[in-house]
Structure 1
Amino acid sequence: MKTVLLAGAALCALATAPAWAQGPVSGTVTDARTGEALPGATILLDGTASGTTDATGAFALPAVPAGTHELRISFLGYDALVQRVEGQAGEQRLRNALQPGAVLTGEALVTASQANDRTGTAYTNLSKEDLAKRNFGQDLPYLLDQTPSVVVNSDAGAGVGYTDIRIRGTSNTGINMTINGVPLNDPESRGSFLVNLPDLASSINSLQVQRGVGTSQNGGAAFGASINISTLGVRREAYAESQNTYGSFNTWKNNVQFGTGLVGGHFTVDGRLSRIATDGYMNRAASDLKSYYFAAGYQAKSTLLKFITFSGREKTYQAWNGVPEPAITGNRALLQTYVDNGELSEANAARVLREGRRYSYYTYDNQTDNYQQNHYQLHLSQGLGPNWNVGAAAHLTRGFGYYESYRERRKFSDYGLPNVVVGNQTITRTNLIDQKWLDNYFYGGTFALNYQPREGKLQATLGGAWNRFNNDHYGEIIWAQYAQNIAHRQRYYFNNATKTDYNAYARATWQATSWLGVYGDLQLRRIGYRIDGIEDDQNDVTTRARYTFFNPKAGTTVSLGHGQQLYASFAVGQREPVRADFTDRPAGDQTARPERLEDYEGGYRINRAGLSWLGLITDVRFEANYYFMNYRDQLVATGQLNDVGTALRTNVARSYRRGLELTGAVAAADKISLSSTLTLSQNRIQNYRDVVYDENFEAVVGAPRTSTISYSPAVVSAHTLEGQPLKGLRTALLLKTVSRQYLDNSANKNRSLQPYQTLDFRVRYAFRPVFMKEIELAILVNNLLNREYAANGYTYSYVGASGRQETFNWYYPQATRNFLASVNVKF
């Protein structure tokens, strides 16, 4: 309620603000040869994405302030049109005719998987400029925090290092991520570990978040959303830039970027070097992150060939354990329960009281995660006459690294080693240091054949991909207090996993009339997965699994005129179990079934410019989207543990997510704007059965009931109020609200994250001295109101020392008030 009142108050303030704006600009975009309308053309004003043309080729811009501005219109297969627009009183109407036969840009390689106003789906587009506003060095999820239905969190507490994003309550294991159409998710765990690609946002040209199943994607299924990242694009003029940030917790970001522009009309080279380092909000939660990006391209009238390589290397102290509940509450009795049950030692308990919510479980100096990921992509885009083009890519991702741990009093038998005999004494346990390694290759190819006729009524794509993942998992002992017949870097487990994934899809949109459009999308996906060897618990994890999925999608759009649209869609998504669903079960148990999602979406959009409201010329956007995501055989944690204490997941027959997403924005020229998003949802498991343990350590299955899906808040909202009181000076307030989240599926408040609300403040000032293109000074104050909250956690239960069920909650506290300040220069 506070959030709604605040948004209403801000809207009232906007309505009574001075009328800074000048007149709106609208027009149509057509083919210069045939005069046919070009729907879906991209409109940019002063380099900022300002919308696309509708089914009739029409567009409308916000009221343009006084002065000279650059209007850029682009459409695949046409020369971009750039013209000057003067802000003036009264409405301006433009007619823009594009010449066919343009030099191809990188857009041809990624548009095949993107949603648009013809697909009847819910999506958000972010431009390079949109991301740059928030980019102070925090990980990519934090740059998406203000988009609909998004919740983010950070292990180290400040947005650098290991971070996570949830959309509609689904973690990144259910969010399909691609970079230039190439899958990013780990094929086994399905997670996208963006810590391996620090400062990726600085090289992003555009990004689209599709909520729900969305359009067919390469890689794993989208069970909550998909994030399509494009680093492609052509900057025709040479440039050099540097971004430098310093902030709380000794956080540093430094990067340099450069580009040659278009050389000789055909060649481009772009590059970036970055380093991000921080001590972290949590104690002993430091990160040292390095990355690079390099691209070299050749383009002609109908051909684009581009080689891209980017890499990230991370060294992070392991903050992934979180902190025990008593560290937050200060409850000494509860702390003693953790000690009595061996969850904390006496020494650790003393540190809990001393360090509080910034407590770190680990004290070993090199308790670190060390990983490097190198990406190589070769892209080809080729025009095939006036109506056809094809995009194809070959890719290789090389990943390798380990995390190192100090472990106390470990049994030799747990490592497949004999006991140590000294005289008459047999030693069965030892302190040791081990490293757990991953060493993998991910490679394959993608393609998309696009039919895009000049008249634009029918557009179609035939695409697909073939990808293979080969991953070695192994562990080595690098030191032991007691050792006998142990080789240097003694290997104590090894298993190899291979996964082959290929898919093919056909998609088409047809503008049947000026007001009615239909959309269809059919995908066939095949997966083969095998594991050979033993896991770290010495269990045989040999696995053989094959899956075939058919995923149909369909939608319709109805144009109501005046920038209004109704839409609806239906989509099926299916996905295979993850690695842990095989390896954490008893040997040979492969009973986990694949999951199926039926996603129903429907909504209303309006995008109007130049409206007169209480004396103001304003631009208004609004969207209301209803979704119903019906799951079959969703895999959820039951509360049951395997023989080494790992939580097991099981298929539940029926579960669903349903909700209403409201998104709106009001802008008065370039002076003041308010954007808001609010999601209200229900997330339920039907006939769910809890598993608890009795005093004899026997699992007891509870009665069936309807329960709330874990990590799924019923209310999520985000609001940004931004103004430009002086030329070049922009200030913004960013409010985020997240309601209660349960740590498991029991809907028990004692196992939950408290609701929280945070307010950030951002100010940026840019000016243009004569000796360089631009200097920008910026500061971001996170958590301005100094709230203490946790954005993530986990829970587990068993019969404790008291003889009764004990529950242990662990949380990830987020940083209190902190700042990041940057100096960015452009040449």
Structure 2
Amino acid sequence: MSFSTSFKLLLSSSLFCFPLLLAAQYNLTGTVLSTDGQALVGANVYLPDMAKGASTGMDGSFQIADVPAGRHTLQISYVGYASLVRDVALPQTEKLTFRLPLSSFSTGMAIVSATRADERTPMTYTNLNRKEIETNNLGQDMPFLLRWTPSTVVTSDAGTGIGYTGIWIRGSDPTRVNVTINGIPLNDAESQGVFWVNMPDFASSVQDIQIQRGVGSSTNGAGAFGATLNLNTSYVAPTAYVSTDLTAGSFNTFKRTLRLGTGLMDNGFFADARLSRINSDGYIDRATSDLESWYLAGGWMNEQTSVRLVAFGGHEVTYQAWNGVDASLVDDPVLRRTNTAGTEKAGEPYDREVDDYQQTHYQLLFNHVFTPQWRVNLAGHYTRGMGYFEQYKAAEDLADYGLNYLLIGDSTITTTDLIRRRWLDNDFYGATYSLHYNDSQDLLRSTLGGGYHYYTNNHFGEIIWARFASDSEIRDRYYDNDATKVDFNIFWKTSYNWRDRWFPYLDLQFRRVDYEFLGIDNELNLVNQTASLNFFNPKAGITYQPNTRSRAYVSFAVAHREPNRNDFVGSTPANRPRPERLYDLELGAEQQGDKSAVKANLYYMYYLDQLVLNGQINDVGELLRTNVDESYRLGLELVAGTQLASGLSLQANATLSRNRVVEFVEFVDQYDADFNWIGQERVVRRQTDLAFSPNFLAGAELRYEILARQKQHDLSIALRGKYVGRRFLDNSSDPDNALDAYFFSDWQLQYTLRPAWGKAVRLNIQLLNWLDQLYESNGWSYRYFLDGDETLLQGLYPQAGRQLMVGLGVDF
């Protein structure tokens, strides 16, 4: 065949096929995110030339079917975010991702933006959206919903994730993790911990969460010495909704939740509400939980202004499981569930050895946009908490309770069985503010913010029953101790876009803390005392973004943390511990591909005067936390994810670290053969491991979307696993005083049906710890010498073996 003939056939074929190519239909797919990577659920995606569109799903993805080849104009809009108009071409040659910036006004992200990191911030952080929260939420406390995130270890006193729970991030204990809700501090002002049990099922009202590891950006409340958790509930649903969730599971666990809201109405008003109740018998014997909570929010907004009143509260009654289980029992499948609480009572354990506490939070949130460049956020808050824990105590010395000895016949009664309640009655109120400036080209972003918080707490104890009541009255108070804390801070953050690739960042904070408390002076008298501390916390760094798929950053931050109430009350002015100081260096890089992503972060956290328990006792015989001169954490965090095949994805994270105390002195009690205390022995320890800090952590999830993005239903199955390395119970690096490394794995099946009569019917089945591993996630220890021989007491906290949880939800 000649060249001329071949050319004519090729030309004729091309002319014939060209109209067919023009008529070809394609699916337009993509993802809509906020600028900090949050999936925007329910965003509107519209093709005006075809008068057709779609809404984004829970992961921010969308699909518009049957779109002809060629160029089209795409319009994207979402409440509170600037609309976006982009030209797109079909067929697609790459994955489409659209990032919407905050509009001149947003009631949601605007409320929390003062304390959050964004794509410019050179910090290490993880964002969780609503879908990721709901995936794990079957009634367990917030720490257990976060346990798959990098560098995280969680624990539960009852063993099931319901009741008293805690979270470590990078080995830092719960009192070193700063938590805010809508920018309002949540940490208890005295202990600096967070009691998630007071807020059961709060996750059902949370729209998104940001976890900043390390010092993080400036925030309100307690100093962040391991991480910051920023929870956001200030989402406005675009339409009215009603949702109900029921959960049933092992150990008689039940959760009932009802949520409803008006959505954003035409007049600008909106309202949301939630009621929840959770009950569980717990894995540990008698470690029951009876929990109730509620959430109410209402307000008004237009394009410039938003006013929102938020109120939420919880009431918990949990049988105490604080004591742990003797280490000699934890390998026995039955005895490891032993609970010694309430057993001082002869016969059956005391049935009211409970913690009974109620807490209510009120927040008033105001946002206003002056111009497209200037906006302000103001918030006021008030928290009221009151409750007690009740204990049966046997053979207590009457004098310890301020009661006189009794003379009955010829006998002098010096001890008695009694029931006591130790109360907390506290108020916490204050205000936060932030003024934001973004120039018209989004080159310069600056925030001036801060807060003022006032806390009062009345600690008192009551005797509600005594076998020998002596001269006591009804509900006799045997101690009464008030304390006050004032926390003020002001910060300024700024970042600049230099050449669309470099983003230098500066963050300066001043914080002042004032204490008033009843404590012992140098003469061992109990007197009212005060303490004032001033902190300057600078942070600086730079982010480099050569393109939309790559990011690298480096930052250096300084943080301070004040001693807690017990440190002040239990010390004299002469031996009072110093504040802690932390220098945090973060170096990270991220890379995204079409089907995979990887992140790596190297951190070095160097502490001066970190407070630890070293066994030393004060002048009145109580254990002291003392400063150790130097300690550090050096680690590498790796996070990766990939799409292995259509619908099949793998996510994984790992942390390798070295966590050390350079040198400290441990004080070990000494007793003679008759168990009389005779003094303390000094033991110098060098280059030992920091307590509760594993050198290796890893987690992974393999998920298969069996029915991915189907119009009427979704079905997915996931296998998860987590490994936690050995953790020492104290700072001695004693291999006999450590929690063994452990691994657990969960299965999850999720199915969603979208019927014609409602939005969705959701089924969530989780088989937790399906390998039935026996492991302990927390513990305490006491080392002493008895007649010259070293003795070690340990109390460990076993976690539940295999357990089944089934959740059913209906959305209207």
Task: Report the TM-score, using the length of structure 2 for normalisation.
Answer: 0.87
Partner of 1:284: 286
Question: Among residues 204, 213, 216, which one is paired with 1:202 in the alignment?
Answer: 204
1:826 matches 2:811 = yes
1:816 matches 2:804 = no
2:669 maps to a residue whose letter is Y
- Could you tell me how far apart the structure 2 residues matched to 1:740 and 1:97 are? 44
Question: Relative to structure 2, which stretch is displaced further, 599-608 or 540-549?
Answer: 540-549
1:73-96 Cα shifts (integer Å, max 9, x gaps)? 678974456999999764466889
Question: Among residues 659, 664, 673, which one is paired with 1:683 in the alignment?
Answer: 659
1:366 matches 2:352 = yes
Alpha-carbon contact 1:23-1:91 (below 8 Å) kept: no
1:702 matches 2:683 = yes
- Could you tell me how far apart the structure 1 residues matched to 2:139 and 2:667 are? 42
* SS of match in other structure, 1:112: helix
1:710-745 Cα shifts (integer Å, max 9, x gaps)? 000001111111111234111111111000000000
Cα distance, 1:84–1:405 mapped onto 2, change above 3 Å: farther
* C-alpha deviation, 1:558, in angstroms: 1.4
Partner of 1:660: 636
1:248 maps to a residue whose letter is S
- Could you tell me how far apart the structure 1 residues matched to 2:99 and 2:249 are? 46
1:559 matches 2:559 = no
Question: Among residues 38, 44, 48, which one is paired with 2:40 in the alignment?
Answer: 44
Give runs of aligned pairs for residues 88-487 of structure 1, distance below 5 A. Answer: 90-91=93-94, 104-329=106-331, 355-362=335-342, 363-487=349-473
2:190 maps to a residue whose letter is E
* C-alpha deviation, 1:357, in angstroms: 3.7
Alpha-carbon contact 1:469-1:500 (below 8 Å) kept: yes
Give runs of aligned pairs for residues 19-58 of structure 1, distance below 5 A. Answer: 44=40
- Could you tell me how far apart the structure 1 residues matched to 2:63 and 2:79 are? 29
1:716 matches 2:697 = yes
* SS of match in other structure, 1:750: coil
* C-alpha deviation, 1:561, in angstroms: 2.8
1:638 maps to a residue whose letter is N
Cα distance, 1:63–1:465 mapped onto 2, change above 3 Å: closer
* SS of match in other structure, 1:235: coil
1:638 matches 2:614 = yes
Alpha-carbon contact 1:176-1:222 (below 8 Å) kept: yes
1:207 maps to a residue whose letter is I
1:736-793 Cα shifts (integer Å, max 9, x gaps)? 1000000000001111100000001111111012211110111111101000000000
CA radius of gyration, larger in: 2
Give runs of aligned pairs for residues 519-558 of structure 1, distance below 5 A. Answer: 519-532=505-518, 540=526, 542-558=528-544
Cα distance, 1:86–1:514 mapped onto 2, change above 3 Å: closer
Alpha-carbon contact 1:109-1:180 (below 8 Å) kept: yes
Alpha-carbon contact 1:358-1:813 (below 8 Å) kept: no
Give runs of aligned pairs for residues 583-598 of structure 1, distance below 5 A. Answer: 583-585=569-571, 590-598=575-583
- Could you tell me how far apart the structure 2 residues matched to 1:256 and 1:62 are? 25
Alpha-carbon contact 2:40-2:60 (below 8 Å) kept: no
Question: Relative to structure 2, which stretch is displaced further, 525-534 or 367-376?
Answer: 525-534
Alpha-carbon contact 1:420-1:483 (below 8 Å) kept: no
- Could you tell me how far apart the structure 1 residues matched to 2:100 and 2:724 are? 47
Cα distance, 1:759–1:82 mapped onto 2, change above 3 Å: farther
1:600 maps to a residue whose letter is L
2:805 maps to a residue whose letter is L
Partner of 2:592: 607
- Could you tell me how far apart the structure 1 residues matched to 2:276 and 2:85 are? 33
* C-alpha deviation, 1:158, in angstroms: 0.4
Alpha-carbon contact 2:588-2:601 (below 8 Å) kept: yes
- Could you tell me how far apart the structure 1 residues matched to 2:475 and 2:100 are? 68
- Could you tell me how far apart the structure 1 residues matched to 2:31 and 2:97 are? 4
Question: Among residues 472, 493, 497, which one is paired with 1:511 in the alignment?
Answer: 497
Alpha-carbon contact 1:470-1:497 (below 8 Å) kept: yes
- Could you tell me how far apart the structure 2 residues matched to 1:575 and 1:774 are? 46
Cα distance, 1:515–1:187 mapped onto 2, change above 3 Å: same
Alpha-carbon contact 1:213-1:226 (below 8 Å) kept: yes
- Could you tell me how far apart the structure 2 residues matched to 1:67 and 1:301 are? 33
Partner of 2:5: none
Alpha-carbon contact 1:691-1:699 (below 8 Å) kept: yes
Question: Which runs of 5 or more structure 2 residues have no equivalent in the other structure?
Answer: 1-25, 45-58, 68-73, 343-348, 673-677, 709-713
1:634-678 Cα shifts (integer Å, max 9, x gaps)? 001112345787532110110000100000111368712111110
Count of residue pairs the alignment pairs up: 749
1:621 matches 2:597 = yes
1:237-278 Cα shifts (integer Å, max 9, x gaps)? 000000100000000000100001112240001000000110
Structure with greater contact order relative to length (CA < 8 Å, sep ≥ 6): 1
1:364-396 Cα shifts (integer Å, max 9, x gaps)? 100000001100000000001110000010000
- Could you tell me how far apart the structure 1 residues matched to 2:436 and 2:230 are? 18
Give runs of aligned pairs for residues 70-89 of structure 1, distance below 5 A. Answer: 78-80=81-83
Q: Percent identity?
A: 41
Cα distance, 1:290–1:26 mapped onto 2, change above 3 Å: closer
- Could you tell me how far apart the structure 2 residues matched to 1:192 and 1:47 are? 34
Alpha-carbon contact 2:769-2:801 (below 8 Å) kept: yes
1:201 maps to a residue whose letter is A
Alpha-carbon contact 2:30-2:63 (below 8 Å) kept: no
- Could you tell me how far apart the structure 1 residues matched to 2:105 and 2:170 are? 39
Cα distance, 1:361–1:92 mapped onto 2, change above 3 Å: closer
2:380 maps to a residue whose letter is A
1:664 maps to a residue whose letter is A
Question: Relative to structure 2, which stretch is displaced further, 73-82 or 306-315?
Answer: 73-82
1:216 maps to a residue whose letter is S
* SS of match in other structure, 2:329: helix
* SS of match in other structure, 1:110: helix
Question: Which runs of 5 or more structure 1 residues have no equivalent in the other structure?
Answer: 1-21, 30-37, 49-60, 331-352, 610-617
Alpha-carbon contact 1:42-1:75 (below 8 Å) kept: no
2:131 maps to a residue whose letter is E
Partner of 1:615: none
- Could you tell me how far apart the structure 1 residues matched to 2:99 and 2:186 are? 38
- Could you tell me how far apart the structure 2 residues matched to 1:704 and 1:686 are? 8
1:826 maps to a residue whose letter is D
* SS of match in other structure, 1:805: strand
1:677 maps to a residue whose letter is N
Alpha-carbon contact 1:722-1:730 (below 8 Å) kept: yes
- Could you tell me how far apart the structure 1 residues matched to 2:470 and 2:496 are? 72
Alpha-carbon contact 1:68-1:84 (below 8 Å) kept: no
* SS of match in other structure, 1:218: coil
1:298-351 Cα shifts (integer Å, max 9, x gaps)? 001200000000001000000011111122246xxxxxxxxxxxxxxxxxxxxx
2:40 maps to a residue whose letter is L
* C-alpha deviation, 1:359, in angstroms: 3.9
- Could you tell me how far apart the structure 2 residues matched to 1:84 and 1:725 are? 33
* C-alpha deviation, 1:583, in angstroms: 2.6
- Could you tell me how far apart the structure 2 residues matched to 1:454 and 1:576 are? 40
* SS of match in other structure, 1:561: coil
1:587-615 Cα shifts (integer Å, max 9, x gaps)? 55552000000000001111233xxxxxx
Partner of 1:771: 757
1:253 maps to a residue whose letter is K
Question: Relative to structure 2, which stretch is displaced further, 562-571 or 118-127?
Answer: 562-571
* SS of match in other structure, 2:111: helix
* C-alpha deviation, 1:103, in angstroms: 5.1
Task: Report the TM-score, using the length of structure 1 for normalisation.
Answer: 0.86
Alpha-carbon contact 1:518-1:557 (below 8 Å) kept: yes
